Amino acid sequence: MSKRSATVYWTGFCIVLALLIVAPLVLPEFWRRFLTEILIWGLLAMSSDILIGYTGMVSFGHSAFFGLGMYGAAAALLMVRPPNLWLAMLYGLIGSAAIALFVAYFSTRLRDIYFAITTLIFSQIFYVIIFTWTEVTGGENGLTFRRPPLEIPGLFSEPFTSETLHWFVLAVVTASYLILRRITQSPFGMVLQSIRENEPRTRAIGYAVDRYKIVAVMLSGLFAGLAGVLYALQNRFAAPDFVYFLVSGETVIFNVMGGIGTLVGPIVGAGFFLLLREAFSRFFTEYYLIPVGVIFIAMVIFMPQGLLGFMRRWLNQ
Amino acid sequence: MTSVLGFFQAIPYEELLIQTVNGIVTGMILALIASGLTLIFGIMDVVNFAHGELFMFGAYMGVVVLAATGSFWLALLLASLIVALIGAALQITTLRPLLGRDPLTTILATFGISLVMQNYALWQFGPVARKIQEPFTGQFTLFHLQYPWYRVLIAALSAAIIGAFWLFLKYGTYGIWIRATTQDRVMAEAMGIPVLWVHTAVFAIGAGMAAASGVLFGPLVGVNHAMGLDWVLKAFIVVVVGGMGNLGGSIAASIFISLLEAYASIWVSPAQAVIVSFVVLILTLLFRPTGLFVPTPK
C-alpha cells in the first residue's frame, strides 16, 4: 500500500482514538457506560472476526469463551483476597484458553455449517454445566462480586471510577486491536486468509491447515475471554445467560452488521446494534428485537458486506 | 459372580420400561420436527434456525384456534396450515433472495427470523405460559404409574404424519419432484420442474410439520415464547446425527437420542441429561461426520 494511504489510515486511527479518550469527559453517565459497553461487545465481536472474516469459519460458540472469561474473573475475585485486577484477567484468560483449546481440538476437524453447529453445541454444553452446577457457579443466579481497584503493583492503587474504567477498557481494546491487526498481517495471518480463500490448495502447498485452525480458534477464544473479563469488571457479576447461544448469535450479528474481515467493522457493528436497541426500546420496550431483527435480515440480504465492508481493503493495509 | 448379579439386580427395570415409552413419545415428536428440518437442508442447503420458532408458533396458533373453536383436531389442522403459509411467505421473502449464496448466510437470515418471531410471540401472547387442553384424559396403568393415553396417541399421530409424508415423497408426483430436486437441482430444472416453487413448498411442509408437533406437544408442557429454542437445538443434533438431508436417518436418530436422554434422566436431572445428546453429536461428528444412520459413503 502506498505511503500516503497509510498516513491517512493512522491519522484516522488517532482521531478516533482521541475522540474515544475524550468522550467520557463530555458524555453524561448513561452514555459513558454505554460507550464502554460498546467497546466490550466490540472486542468480543472483533475476536470472532478472526474466525469469520479471516479464516472463513463461522463460530456460533463464542458465548462459551466470553462466559468462561467472566467466570474465570469471578473465581479470582471471589477466592483471592484482596481482589486483584490482574489476577482476574489472568484467571479469565486461562479459563477461556483452556476451553478454547478443548473446543478447537474437536471442532476444527469440521468445516462450514458443521463447524458452526459443533461450536454451538459446545457452548450449550458449557451453558448446561454452568447452569446446573449450582454449588460452584451459583447456577441460574450467577455470581456477584466487588470490583477490584485499578492498580499497578508498587506504583498506585485506586478504585475504578466510570471514567477510569472506560479508559482501562479502551486501552485493552486498542491494544487488542493492534495485536490482532499485526497478527492478521503476519505470515501466520496470511496463511489463515489463504485457508479462507482455498483450503485444499493451502493444504497442498504444505501448510498444516489443522494446526493453523486450532491456533486461530484459540487466539479468538482468548480475546473473547478478555472481553468476558472486561464485562465482568464493568457489571460486577457473572451469569449463565451470557453463556447461552443467543450471545454467540449476537456476536455474529455484530460482525455481519459492521462488516466481516475488517476488525474495526465488528466494533462498529456492535455500536450500531446497541444504538438500534437503545433507539427502538424507546418505542418497542423489550420487544426491540423485532425491528432490529428485521433490519438485520435486510442487511444480510441487501448489504452482505456490512457497514464498513466498502473500506475492507483500506483497513487491512 | 455375585457382583455381576448385583449389577443386574440394581438395574431399575420398571423405570427403564417407563423411560423407554417416554423416550419413544418424545422421539416421535422430535422426528416430526426434524424431518422437516432435514428436508429443508437436503433440498436447499438451508440451515433453518427458525424451525424451533415455527414449532412455537404452531403451538400458539393451536392455543388461539382451540380457544375460538373448542376443537383440538381443528386446531391441529388449522395451526399447521397457517404456519405452513407463514413458512412459505418467509421462504419467498428472505430465503429466495439468498439462493446460490454461501449456506452460512442462510443461518444468519434464519437466525434473524427466529429472533423476530420469538419476540413477536412474547409481544402478542405475553410471558405467561398458555395451556392447550388435551383432547382426552384417559390413563392406563404402567407399573406404579398412571400413564396418559394421550402420550401414546401423540407418538401414533406423529408416526402417521411422517408415514403419510413418506408415502407422498415416494409415490406422489410432487413428492417425486421434491426428491428429484434434492438429488440434482440443475437436472430437475432442466426436466421442467419448477425448482423455486419446490423449495417454497418444502419449506412450507416443514413448517407445517413443525407446527403440528407444536400443537401435539402443547398439552404436555406450557406453551411459551422460548419453547422453540430447546427443540431447535435437539433437532439440529438429530439432523446431523442422522445425516443431513436424510429423512429415515433423522427419524432413527430422533428415537435413538430421545431414548438415551430418557435413560440418562433416570440417574441425573433432565437438564443434565441433555449433555448425553451433545456428546453423541460430537462423537458422531468426529468419527462419522456423514451421520450414524446412513450407509458408509464409498
Helix axes B51-69, B72-90, angle to 10 degrees: 140
pLDDT in tens, A208-264: 888 888 999 999 999 999 999 889 888 888 888 888 888 888 888 888 888 888 888
The whole-number pLDDT of residue B5 equals 65
Candidates A58, A125, A286; nearest CB to B278: A125
In Å, how far is A159's CA from the nearest CA of chain B?
39
Cell of A191: 496463511
The whole-number pLDDT of residue B85 equals 93
What is the C-alpha to C-alpha distance for residues A96 and A61, in angstroms, rounded to an integer? 12
Peptide bond into A82 cis (omega under 30): yes
DSSP 3-state of B224: coil
DSSP 3-state of B72: helix
CB contact under 8 A, A110 and B236: no
Average pLDDT score over chain A: 84
Average pLDDT score over chain B: 82
CB contact under 8 A, B94 and A297: yes
For range A124-137, the mean pLDDT: 81
Radius of gyration (C-alpha) of chain B in whole angstroms: 20
Q: Which residue has the cell 413477536?
A: B120
pLDDT in tens, A163-200: 788 888 888 899 999 998 888 888 888 888 888 888 88
Checking if the pLDDT of A1 tops 60, the result is no
**Cα dist from A99 to A120, A223, B145, whole Å:** 13, 13, 43
A111 in B contact zone (CB under 8 Å): no
Checking if the pLDDT of B1 tops 60, the result is no
pLDDT in tens, B48-59: 888 889 999 898
Alpha-carbon torsion angle B283, B35, B53, A251, nearest 10: 40
The whole-number pLDDT of residue B71 equals 81
For range B64-82, the mean pLDDT: 86
Q: Between B246 and A209, name the one with better pLDDT.
A: A209
CB contact under 8 A, B115 and A289: yes
pLDDT in tens, A6-38: 788 888 888 888 888 888 788 888 888 888 889
Task: Give the percent of chain A with pLDDT over 90.
Answer: 6
Residues of A in contact with B236 (CB under 8 A): 117, 120-121
In Å, how far is A247's CA from the nearest CA of chain B?
12
CB contact under 8 A, A304 and B105: yes
Pairing of strands B139-142, A237-238: unpaired
In chain B, which residue's Cα lies nearest the Cα of A128?
B272
Candidates B107, B272, B281; nearest CB to A128: B272
The whole-number pLDDT of residue B86 equals 92
The whole-number pLDDT of residue A162 equals 77
Checking if the pLDDT of B45 tops 80, the result is no
In chain B, where are the structural domains located? Answer: 13-225
Checking if the pLDDT of B237 tops 90, the result is no
The whole-number pLDDT of residue B108 equals 85
pLDDT in tens, A38-50: 999 999 999 998 8
Nearest to B129 by CA among B61, B230, B227: B227
A117 in B contact zone (CB under 8 Å): yes
Q: Which residue has the cell 443431513?
A: B244
In chain A, where are the structural domains located? Answer: 3-315
Candidates A106, A124, A289; nearest CB to B119: A289
Checking if the pLDDT of B158 tops 60, the result is yes
**Cα dist from A161 to A144, A179, A235, A238, B49, whole Å:** 19, 27, 13, 20, 42
What is the C-alpha to C-alpha distance for residues A305 and B200, in angstroms, rounded to an integer? 27
Nearest to A35 by CA among A15, A20, A25, A45: A20
Alpha-carbon torsion angle B47, B50, B56, B61, nearest 10: -110
Q: Between B140 and B234, name the one with better pLDDT.
A: B234
The whole-number pLDDT of residue B89 equals 92
As for the ipTM of the complex, it is 0.82
Does domain A3-315 correspond to CATH entry 1.10.3470? Answer: yes
The whole-number pLDDT of residue A41 equals 92
Interface residue ranges in chain B relative to chain A, Cβ cutoff 8 Å: 47, 94, 97-98, 101, 103-105, 107-109, 111-113, 115-116, 118-120, 122-123, 233, 236-237, 240, 269, 271-272, 274-275, 278, 281-282, 285-286, 289
Give φ, ψ of B141 to 5 degrees: -90, 125
A249 in B contact zone (CB under 8 Å): yes
The whole-number pLDDT of residue B88 equals 92
In chain A, which residue's Cα lies nearest the Cα of B118?
A290
In eight-state DSSP terms, residue A60 is S
Helix axes A112-132, A62-79, angle to 10 degrees: 30
Positive/negative CA dihedral, B165, B170, B172, B173: positive
The whole-number pLDDT of residue B249 equals 84
Total residues belonging to chain A: 317
In Å, how far is B117's CA from the nearest CA of chain A?
8
